[in-house]
Structures are given as structure tokens and as C-alpha cells.
Structure 1
Amino acid sequence: MISDIADPELYELGDPVAVWAKLRATTPVFWNEHPPGPGFWAVMAYEPALEVYRNTDAFTSELGMRIDSDPAAVSAAAGKMLIVTDLPVHQQLRQVMNTAFLPRVVSALDASMRSVVEPLVIAALEKARVDFVSEIAAILPAAIICDIMDVPRSDRSNMIELTSKAFGASVGAGIRCPAGEMERTEAHAEIFLYFNELVEQRRRKPGTDVISALVEGEMDGRPLTDAEILMNCDGLLTGANETTRHASAAGLLALIDHPGEWQRLRNGEVGIDSAVEEVLRYTAPALHVMRVATKDVRVGGELVRAGQAVAIWNSSANRDETVFADPDRFDLGRSPNRHLTFGIGPHFCLGATLARVELRVLLQVLAERVARMELVGEVRRMRSNFMWGIEDLPVSFTS
């Protein structure tokens, strides 16, 4: 059995699905040593995950939302950045930003998404080999969140690179050299500097984008501070880019590995919305979400002491045999499908609707244009204990 569930090597080179299954069967909630840190409680099963998500009285997000976070960065963002705030501040911030992510607003972006995806897929069909991650999966979410934030098109490729580095992706194409703490910190700093300029522009001339909403928004009758605005710009950009990017890539790999499911989708035997939910469950890009106990509390029968960290392993909970029949089977028609990819409760992912629509449009275009997909090289996975992602996915498409 693996000694540390948060060892990045497991997710780059190992078989985490098998490890999760053994842990759910033996120790669904256990204390995980994670040197050089103090360790944490790992929650591998569905029901105890719900216990933590729903118990906002006993758990805080303001001490970090992922293992290995920089304590100084967390301290600076706590109470200001959406993902590291607790109620009632979390709800107030969410209301300010929510107008840009309402279902009717996101649905209106459908044509824009198709205009991004379709040329990429057509171009891929004309090549013998494409890297699906860099040439398709990374481009769609970046283009759309940049639309929502009204980032100039000339700056978008740089934003993709910066957000990848900020979440620890490899530095440089085709090399196994994950971004270290310095590279991640520098990437976040560059993102902050960039958005500082955009914030000043919106103050002079506000628009209908989410940055303007932050600039003009209020909490408890006061305007948001510069720190609150910039931190949430950073959070929106990185979250929107990385989650959909990795779900798209891992979803495509699953479809290649399960050609029967691909044919079911193309033939209309399964609905597109059902397919999207199964891709989200099966790929679960955000491996874990962390909380810290504010008082002694039991989780899955285990006593968690005040001050101890608890990491909900969403990816494992999504394969809990007590909730999902034959959970390791990729089934585009799965129903019900109550996955935890976007969390649950007050911190349910703000961009969930956006991610779903992006995946729906991508799958629709692929189903319309591509008859056959195959791997034409080595799949390289991300070395990370936070994002369960793919760095390189060389494929060939046939119409």
C-alpha cells in the first residue's frame, strides 16, 4: 500500500484508481503522513466526503483548500479570495461574481464556444498527429473565460501558459520538468500584475464582464478592495482554465480506450448531457479539496481534532462502490450520477455550468466531425497531487 496518498508520483506514473479502491475498502478515512508537513486526514469514500462538505460549522476553508499550499499565500488570500473564504463572506463574494456564470448567460456563449472548437477540430483532421492538450483542450476554456473577463485576444496564449505554470504543469513542451514553487509563485505574480492593469481600465470604463462586476461590486455596503478583486481574478482564470482542460483531455482518452462508448454517443444512443456528467465523474480533474477542522469532530467514525487538515479525495469518492454501480466502468449513459467533481454545498463550483457547456460543445463537435480517434504516441500525465491531468496526449482524428 502506498505510504502517502498525496505523493505526486502516484498520479504521474502509478495506478491511483487501484490504490483508492483498496483504501475505500479498508480505511475510507485515515491519517495520512505527508512529510515534511504535519499530515492530514484523507477522506476516500462518498458519505464521509458529504459530512465534511456540509459541515461548515466545524470546518473552515480559510486555512487553505489544497495540500501543499504556500502558507503565506493562503494567509494573504484568506477571507478575500472566493475559494478560501467562509460564510457569510463567501456568499457575498459569490453573489458579486455570479451574474457572469448564470445558466442563461453561459448558454448564450454556445455559439462562441463552437466558433472556437470547430476550426481546431477541422485543423486536427488535416494533420497526422496533434497534441490534444495544447492544440484543443487548453484553448477552449482559456478563450471562453477570457471572453467572460474581456481579456484581449492578443494576451490569451500568455494567460494559458501562466495558468498552467501556476498549477504546477511542466515548464516547456515535451519535457518532464514540473514547475516548482518558484515558478508557480512567479506565474501568479505575473497574473496579478496583468489583472491590475485590467482593473484600472475597468474603473475608467466599466463593461459587462466579470472584472467590471468585481470593480463595481459591494460587500456589506463597501466596494471590494484591490486585493479582493485581483485575487478573485486570479482564481477565476486558473480555475476555469485548468479544470475543463484536464477533463477534456482525460475524457478524450477515456473515449479512445472505450470505442464502444464513442459509437454510442455518435449514434445518439446516449444523450450529450449524460455523457458530460460521466466524463466529469470519471476524470475528476481536481483530485482533492482540503478543509481544516475548527473544533473536534467525527468524520466517518474517526475523531478529527481541531486544527487538523482534512482532504476530501473527490476522485476516489466518485468511484465509491456503494454509490456508483461498477464505478470503474466508463458508462456515458450512467444514471443516476451524483458525482462530487464540483463539490457540494456552499462551495459548489461557481464555474460548474460553464464547464458543463464547454464539455458539451466539445463533445458535440467531435461527434459531428470525427469518426475515429486513436493514440499515436505516449500519454504523459501531470506530476501533481492536486490536478489529475494530462500534459501530452498525441492523437490522430479520422473523419
Structure 2
Amino acid sequence: MITPDLENLPELGEIDLYDPERYRTSSQHPAWHTLRLRAPVWPQSTPDGDRFWSVTRFHDVSTLLMDDKRFSSAYGTILAVAKGDIAAGKTINLMDQPDHAGVRLPAMRTMSTRVARDRKEAVRRHVRRVLGSALDGGTVDFAELAAHLPLAAVGDIVGIPESAWPGLPRLAMAGVAPGDPSYSAGAESDTLTGAHFEIFAMFTELVRERRRRRRDDLISVLLDADLGGRRLSEHELVLNCYSFLMGAVTTTPQVAAHLIQVFIDQPGTWRRVRQDPALVPTAVEEALRWASPTNHLMRRARCPVRLGGTLIDEGDLVCGWVAAANRDETVFAEPYAFDPARQPNPHLAFGVGAHRCIGGPPAQVVLAVLLEELCGRVDEIVPAGAPVHMRSNFINGITSLPVEFRPGGRSERVAAGAATVTR
């Protein structure tokens, strides 16, 4: 997350955006900065020889994600499946129109901005349970704590019983970062197989329960989704439930962890937010831009198309580096500065276009609730150990973040302001 040394940027020949280990051990922002300046549409190959184009400028990434007529999501959306995703065409994130809309439109109603706001106090109760006594002092690994925040936001909405919430974050992370030491259970294939088996088994049972008796949850909504006169098969239902779970559980904790790291590195920013609760909404949006929890999103060209002045052939893979676009200096003033009052802030953390993350509103609410709870109970946030970053070219993750929260009361004026923001 460092500011690149603009006098010593890497050369093009030194850049490798595929290697997951580089994301664990170093920042890729210098490489992305070089590409935005010198090679905004840049070719590279995976170790297996699959070529992909990288786009790093905000306009080009936005165009790639918005243009679902010329760029397909059905083949696969992350570099880990450059040879094609086995769930291609079966889940919301791997569907093109019109099937995509058949799943997306009914699902959106369960996670709308209105629904998310109406559930805010229920989310707060869950968040307080997750935090427990962590904010009362002592050392805690905030990355482990934050892993449980997403289910506080969407567990009830999806229809996952609370008894299953504690074990799901680790399984979900193993599904996106099977090579990371924190989640590995041996070979990457074994880690993936084990995680998938447990999650799929849970959703298979839940789907069968909802067939017998509908509830007010996403699983029930998906059972009745109409895809041009047909319903999703049981296999497709389980895959889509998995997709919604992964979209939430693997991203929101990273935003929370990176936000805490900012407050550790910049105590003045923490004091500023704590003393002015009106900054909570914009600080959340800045945290989303800053963290960019999904480094990239991939598409496949459906026809020859020119992007950023470069001709992309039909069938070519194109990788939009969201994290790079969210530091584009032509769009964001002082992009390497965390500004909790930044406005406007047209970040791409949730994507854009037809595939924009429908879990955005619940994520915004749970992050706002977390920040409000911190502002109300914590005076200082100090490091208690070095952060450990995730081995993944997809998720910009922190697997360990030891911190000490030093409690402190809030003045009546500030508390009253927070209450106003909450309403």
C-alpha cells in the first residue's frame, strides 16, 4: 500500500503481475504505476503459457467491466482459472446476459440499499458479538476478528444458520488463496477440494430444506429465479450460493483490516475520524478505494476490440487491475493519500456495470457499523506485531494483523453526532 518511489519505478521487464508470492512480500503499486504511464495495455503469460492483457488505467478498466457485450464473464473472471472455470455459465459471476439478469435481478432485492439500511441495528448486534471484549484493551489479531464481519452483514440474508458462521471464513479463504500458509491443507488442489466439499455440503442441505419450506432469504429467492422459462438446477443453486458467500466473506474483511492499518500508520487520521462521526460514510468509501480487496477482474473478448489503443483479438483474456485503477492520478487527486473526506470518490472496489457487486450495500453498512463502534469505544490503535499479507494475486488480503485497542470514552458531543449518523 506504499507510495511508489517515482524516481525508481520498475522497468517493464521486471514486472510480473501473476506471481502470487509477490503480493505477499511486496507492493505491486510501483508496477501498476509504471504500466499506467508506459504500457496501459500490457501482455503477459501465466506459467502455463496462457496469455492475458493487463489494463491499469481507470478509463480502460471501467470500459472493460462495463462492456458486457464485447467482453464475456462466462469463461472465467480471475487469473487462477485462465484455462477456463469449471463453473462457467452456471453462477451469477460467470454468466452473460440474459441468464445473468435472471439471477441478479431477484437477488438484488435481498441486498438493496434500503434492505441493508433497515437491517443496520441487527447488523450492529452481530458486530458487537464478533468484537466481544476486543475493544476493551489487550492484544487481538484483528485480521482473524474481521474475517467474521461479512456473515454479520449477510449471513441472515443468504439464509445460513448462525451455527455455521464461525467455520465458514476459513473455508472461504482457502477457496481463493489455497496456496497461502494460513489456509493451506497440503497441496493446493487438496485445500480447494476440502474447502469446496464442506461448503457445498452445507448449501446442498440448505437448498433441500428450502425446497420443502421457503423462507425470507436468498436461497429461497434463487429457487424461484426464472432463467428464460427454466429454474436453476440443484447443482447451479449450490454453486450460486457458494458464489454469493465467497463474494462477501473474502473481501469485506480485507477492507476492515487495511483501514485499521491506515489508522495505525496515521494516528492523526484516526483522531480526525473519531472526532467527526460525519466522516464515517466517506471514510468507508475511501477504505474501499484504498484497499481494493479484489486486485483484478478478468474478461474474455467476444470479438476483436480496441481497448486503450491496442487491438484485442477474439478469445483473448483481459485482466482489469481494479487496484491500479483506484490509484489513477488522472481520476483521484493524491491517489496514494488516504483521505477520509474524499469526494467525489468513483472507486471501482465493487466493480461497475452489469456485474457490479450486489453485496455492496451490506458491506458498506457493516463497515460503517464497525467504524462507529471503534469511534465510540477506542481511543488509540497501536501495532502489536507485523502484518502478514496474503499470497494471492486476486485478493488483496491481510491474514494476520496483531493490534492493541486502547479504550477511551467519547464526549457527549461526539456521541450525539454518531447517533445522528446512525439514524
TM superposition score normalised by structure 1 = 0.94
| Distance in 1 (alpha carbons) for counterparts of 2:74 and 2:15 | 28
Question: Percent of aligned pairs with the same residue?
Answer: 37
Q: Please give the alpha-carbon distance, in whole angstroms, between the structure 2 residues aligned to 1:284 and 1:63.
A: 23
Structure 1 residues 177 and 315, CA gap change in structure 2 (3 angstroms)? farther
1:152 aligned partner: 161
With 6-15 and 265-274 compared, the bigger mean Cα shift is at 265-274
C-alpha contact 1:4 1:34 (8 A) present in aligned 2: no
Which of 200, 210, 216 is residue 208 of structure 2 equivalent to?
200
Equivalent position amino acid for 1:68 in 2:
A
Deviation string 1:31-58 (CA, Å, 9 cap, x unpaired) is 1232223120001111111221222221
Q: Secondary structure at the match of 1:371?
A: strand
Q: Distance in 2 between matches of 1:208 and 1:339?
A: 32
Measured after TM superposition, the shift of residue 354 of structure 1 is: 1.1
Partner-residue secondary structure (3-state), 1:339: coil
Q: Map 1:67-216 onto structure 2 (within 5 A).
A: 67-69=79-81, 71=83, 74-75=85-86, 77-121=87-131, 123-135=133-145, 137-168=146-177, 180-216=188-224
4+ long deviations beyond 3 Å: 119-122, 169-173, 175-179
C-alpha distance 287-100 of structure 1, shift in aligned 2 (>3 A):
same
> Aligned ranges for residues 1-399 of structure 1 at < 5 Å?
1=10, 2-69=14-81, 71=83, 74-75=85-86, 77-121=87-131, 123-135=133-145, 137-168=146-177, 180-268=188-276, 271-399=279-407
Following the alignment from structure 1 to structure 2, what is the Cα–Cα distance between the partners of residues 193 and 37?
A: 34
SS of aligned partner of 1:335? coil
Specify the SS of the correspondent of 2:247. Answer: helix
SS at structure 1 position matched to 2:167: helix
CA distance in 1, matches of 2:83, 2:43: 21
CA distance in 1, matches of 2:355, 2:335: 25
User: 1:169 Cα shift?
Assistant: 5.5
**Structure 2 residues without counterparts, runs of 5 or longer:** 1-9, 408-423
Per-residue deviation, 1:340: 0.8
Is the CA contact (8 Å cut-off) linking 1:170 and 1:382 kept in structure 2?
no
Q: Partner letter of residue 14 of structure 1?
A: S
* Distance (whole Å) between structure 2 residues aligned to residue 126 and residue 353 of structure 1: 29
- Could you list the runs of 5+ residues in structure 1 that have no partner in the other structure? none
Mapped partners of 2:29, 2:254: distance in 1: 17
Per the TM alignment, residue 62 of structure 1 is displaced from its structure 2 partner at its CA by 0.7
Aligned residues: 395
> Are residues 370 and 120 of structure 1, via their aligned partners in 2, closer, same or farther at CA, if it must alter by over 3 Å?
farther
In structure 2, the CA distance between the partners of 1:294 and 1:176, relative to structure 1 (3 Å rule), is closer
Change (3 A) 1:21 1:172: closer
The 1:176–1:101 alpha-carbon spacing in structure 2 relative to 1, beyond 3 Å, is: closer
Q: Distance in 2 between matches of 1:170 and 1:247?
A: 21
Cα distance in 1 between the residues matched to 2:251 and 2:128: 21
RMSD: 1.9
- Paired residue type of 1:328: Y
Q: Distance in 2 between matches of 1:176 and 1:330?
A: 33
More moved, 118-127 vs 213-222: 118-127
TM-fit CA distance, 1:70: 7.2
1:115 match: secondary structure: helix
SS at match of 1:271: helix
Q: Output the amino acid matched with 2:387.
A: V
**3-state SS in 1 of match to 2:54:** strand
Q: Check the 8 A contact 2:15/2:31 in 1, yes or no.
A: no
Asked if 2 retains the 8 angstrom alpha-carbon contact of 1:170 and 1:391, the reply is no
How far apart, in 1, do the equivalents of 2:180 and 2:77 lie?
24
Answer whether contact 2:292 2:323 (CA < 8 A) is retained. yes
Q: CA contact under 8 A between 2:178 and 2:188: conserved in structure 1? A: no
| Alpha-carbon separation, structure 2, partners of 1:121 and 1:370 | 12
Instruction: Quote the offset at 1:181 in angstroms.
Output: 3.1
Partner of 1:303, secondary structure, is strand
Deviation at 1:20, TM superposition (A): 1.4
* Contact 1:106 1:354 (8 Å CA) reproduced: yes
Change (3 A) 1:120 1:55: closer
